[in-house]
Structure 1
Amino acid sequence: MLKQMFKFGFMVLISAILITGYSFAQVSGVPSKDIKKTTAKSMYPVFTISPVAGIIFPMSELGNNYQAGFNGGLDAGVRLNKELGLYAKTGYYSLTDVVEGAPNSSYIEVSAGPRYYFSSKNLKSTFFLEAGVGAYIFSQDAYETETGSIDRKSNTNAGVNVGPGVTLQLSKSIDVILKSKYHLIFNDAGTRSFLTALGGLEFKF
């Protein structure tokens, strides 16, 4: 039941990203003749830092062992021009085992990649699509069983991620950022995957 509620919440959040993006989109006022137009050269590059938090939804094989959990992280990016940017992400993903009393498990993500923007000068919201590649570090705490002790586990594997997002302008230097991502991790046993939905504040400078 809890898992179904989280999945429903995820779908609601994705819908909210799209609906809120459009509802916040406002037509900019026409500048007066005495206001000097800002050139593209003076606008870019734009650097960003974004603390974010949200929910992780394990899928497929990972979903058989873990329930939805918390995720948080920090994005750092640079927008090179109107359409293209680069970003790097460090994220923490807490995994809740389906078995009560099981040891705590988590992933740490370190990834980077391109970000493509879909924007208009008449809109205060900006949609984007990003894709990244990097390392995913899995760890599981040590625990006791009836037959003995199980040591702490830790391993690092390569992974990729992709997903859409939107930024909603609050001021010239601060945006609200909302996004969802699909993560695919490669390991010796095959692949592991999960979805994330998260939001936060984007600071521009």
Structure 2
Amino acid sequence: MTSLNGYKAIIFASPTRDALWDHAKSAAGSTQLDAARHALRQYMRRGGGFVGIHNAFGTEYNWPYYEGLLGNANFYDHGANQNGTVKVVNKKDASTEMLPASWGFKDEWYTLMPYPTNVKFLLAVDTNSLATKRGTHPGHGKMHPVSWCQYYDGGRSWVTTLGHDAGAFAVDTSTFPGAAQFQQHVVAGIKSAMGLVPFCK
């Protein structure tokens, strides 16, 4: 990952732990272990696009730059994988303009610590629609965001905490309620991060 030139967007589709950190090199005392992190940072500074999906919030916990890429937020915990209602909170964005005002979806409904800042919220979950509440986190009240975007360090960052179930990505969207809307949202989000359509309106 030392050269990202030529890519219109980089997608973190549910990576885990320190995806960019070479623990073997670190243990050996190498000074080259930060090459992947440096490449991503420089890519963003050249105007690159970043897309983070679901467990993109469960990786690179100890890198402040990456937390900023996620909107100064990080994964804290989640409750049961359960049905809920997703609401559009910004209809102007390219990744939401085609969506209904709300729709049913099943996910883990991540809670975050810290809470996202300096971002534009796109989607939220109606917490009243959840049968059981989150884990130990006190919750986000009426605004529990699940997708947002921002310009970050010269580049574009579009992220969503949604996407736990493989069924949400299935070609046959009839097998997973809300999959069609989720896929429309993600595809348009990727295009916007790539700069192919207007970003973060």
TM-score bucket of the superposed structures, by smaller chain: under 0.3
* Higher normalized helix content (fraction of residues): 2
* Higher normalized strand content (fraction of residues): 1
Task: Using structure 1 for the length normalisation, give the TM-score.
Answer: 0.25
Structure with higher RCO (Cα < 8 A, 6+ apart):
2
Task: Using structure 2 for the length normalisation, give the TM-score.
Answer: 0.25
